[in-house]
Amino acid sequence: MAMIYNSIPYFPTQVSFFEEVAMELIEARYGMKAETAVMKLVCKIYKENGYYMVWNEEQCTLFTNKVGREIAKEEMQGIVETLMEKGFFDKETYKEHGILTSVEIQRVWLEATKRRKRDLESLPYMLVKTEESDKGGKDGKADKETDGMQNPQNCMQDADNSTENADNSEQNKTEQNKANENRELPPLTPPPGEDVGVWRKYSFIEFPGYAYNKNTHNLECLLLALDGLHINDPNDTKAILKLSDYGRLGNEVWKIIHATKWSIVNSKGKYLIGALNKARTQG
Instruction: Report domain extents, the chain.
Output: 1-135+148-156, 198-282
Distance CA 148, CA 244 (A): 36
DSSP symbols for the chain: --------S-----TTGGGSHHHHHHHHHH-HHHHHHHHHHHHHHHHTTSS-EE-SHHHHHHHHHHHTSSS-HHHHHHHHHHHHHTTSS-HHHHHHHSEE--HHHHHHHHHHTTTS---GGG-TT--S---HHHHHHHHSHHHHHHTTSS-HHHHHHHHHHHHHS--HHHHHHHHHHHHHHHHSPPPPPPPTT----HHHHTTTS---GGGG-TTTB-HHHHHHHHHHTT---HHHHHHHHHHTTTTBTT-HHHHHHHH--GGG-SSHHHHHHHHHHHHHHH-
Q: Confirm if 113 and 191 have CB atoms less than 8 A apart.
A: no
246 vs 153, higher pLDDT:
246
pLDDT of residue 212: 82
pLDDT of residue 198: 66
Q: Which residues contact 229 (CB under 8 A, 6 or more apart)?
A: 257, 262, 268, 272
pLDDT of residue 167: 46
Q: What is the mean pLDDT of the chain?
A: 77
Mean pLDDT of all residues in 55-80:
90
pLDDT of residue 192: 37
Instruction: Inform me whether the pLDDT recorded for 256 exceeds 60.
Output: yes
Distance CA 144, CA 136 (A): 9
- pTM here? 0.47
pLDDT confidence bin for 181, thresholds 50/70/90? very low
Instruction: Inform me whether the pLDDT recorded for 178 exceeds 80.
Output: no
Q: Which residues contact 68 (CB under 8 A, 6 or more apart)?
A: 254, 255, 258
17 vs 188, higher pLDDT:
17
Mean pLDDT of all residues in 233-253:
93
Kindly report the length of the chain: 283
pLDDT of residue 267: 92
Instruction: Inform me whether the pLDDT recorded for 195 exceeds 70.
Output: no
Query: How far is residue 141 from each of residues 114, 115, 122, 146, measured CA to CA in Å?
Result: 14, 12, 21, 9
Instruction: Inform me whether the pLDDT recorded for 201 exceeds 90.
Output: no
Instruction: Inform me whether the pLDDT recorded for 215 exceeds 90.
Output: no
Instruction: Inform me whether the pLDDT recorded for 165 exceeds 70.
Output: no
Percentage of the chain exceeding pLDDT 90 = 34
Provide the Cα torsion 24, 25, 27, 33; round to 10°: -110
pLDDT confidence bin for 160, thresholds 50/70/90? very low
pLDDT confidence bin for 5, thresholds 50/70/90? low
pLDDT of residue 43: 92
pLDDT of residue 152: 41
* Backbone phi and psi for residue 65, each to the nearest 5 degrees, phi listed first: -65, -40
pLDDT confidence bin for 283, thresholds 50/70/90? low
pLDDT of residue 244: 94
